[in-house]
């Protein structure tokens, strides 16, 4: 394709250049003896001018044959190599772009996976911390409940002990007051029953 295009272009240029050269003998044949003032190269009546025209046409034809046989194949080869190089470079560029796009896609996917994994780890840590806090709170509530029950038991025991001591003290005090006031000793069972009745009435 390149060779035919180059050949066509050269033939077109050669035909355009050869037209005036070929027209000169025709002009000499049609108008022998024509001469332009101040332009002896157009004096077709001069045999030297005809010889120059013929030799010029022959030289041009030889140059055309040399170019078409020698120079044009080299030009075609250079153009073909250049076209092949450009196509190879374009193919390499397309492959490089494809690999770059794949690398960018993999990087985005890796970033997305890393973010998802990080979020999962954060959620896991938060859940573990919440579970540990709930467990610790339950253990603390259980321990506090046991301590409160033990304290209530100690308070109740101390209250019972204090009430028992209070009744004994009240009984002894009442018996001592009766003996000091009346000079006689009141029966212990009577004093005890009276003190128990008063203590029971007051919730002791």
Supply the pTM of this predicted model. Answer: 0.37
CA distance 143 to 44: 135
CA distance 137 to 145: 12
CA–CA distances in Å: residue 134 to residues 9, 125, 127, 137: 92, 14, 10, 5
Which regions of the chain are under pLDDT 70? 1-45, 163-168, 170-172, 174-175, 178-180, 182-204
CA distance 191 to 170: 9
Provide the CA 56 distance to its chain's centre, in angstroms. Answer: 73
Q: What is the pLDDT of residue 34?
A: 45
Q: In this structure, are residues 3 and 65 in contact, taking their beta carbons and an 8 Å threshold?
A: no
CA distance 60 to 86: 35
Tokens found for residue 161? 């002990």
Q: What is the pLDDT of residue 126?
A: 92
Burial (CB < 10 A; 0-12, 13-18, 19+), residue 195, is buried
Q: For residues 164-176, b (16+ Cβ closer than 10 Å) or e, as one string?
A: eeebeebbeebbe
Q: What is the pLDDT of residue 174?
A: 67
Q: What is the pLDDT of residue 47?
A: 73
The count of other CB atoms within 10 Å of the CB of residue 178 is 16
DSSP 145-160: HHHHHHHHHHHHHHHH
Q: What is the pLDDT of residue 117?
A: 92
pLDDT in tens, 34-74: 444 556 666 666 777 778 888 889 999 988 888 888 878 88
The count of other CB atoms within 10 Å of the CB of residue 200 is 10
Q: For residues 19-50, b (16+ Cβ closer than 10 Å) or e, as one string?
A: eebeebeeebeeeeeeeeeeeeebebeeeebb
């Amino acid at each position: 394709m390149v060779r035919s295009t180059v050949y066509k272009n050269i033939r077109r240029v050669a035909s355009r250049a050869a037209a005036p050269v070929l027209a000169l003998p025709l002009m000499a044949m049609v108008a022998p003896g024509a001469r332009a003032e101040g332009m002896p190269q157009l004096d077709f009546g001069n045999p030297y001018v005809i010889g120059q025209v013929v030799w010029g046409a022959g030289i041009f034809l030889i140059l055309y044959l040399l170019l078409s046989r020698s120079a044009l194949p080299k030009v075609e080869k250079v153009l073909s190599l250049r076209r092949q190089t450009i196509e190879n470079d374009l193919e390499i560029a397309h492959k490089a772009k494809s690999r770059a796009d794949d690398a960018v896609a993999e990087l985005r996917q890796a970033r997305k996976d890393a973010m998802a994994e990080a979020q999962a780890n954060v959620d896991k840590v938060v859940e573990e911390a919440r579970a540990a806090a709930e467990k610790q709170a339950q253990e603390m509530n259980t321990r506090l409940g046991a301590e409160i029950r033990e304290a209530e038991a100690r308070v109740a025991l101390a209250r019972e002990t204090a009430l028992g001591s209070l009744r004994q003290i009240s009984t002894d005090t009442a018996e001592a007051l009766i003996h000091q006031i009346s000079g006689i000793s009141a029966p212990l069972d009577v004093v005890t029953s009276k003190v128990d009745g008063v203590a029971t009435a007051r919730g002791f």
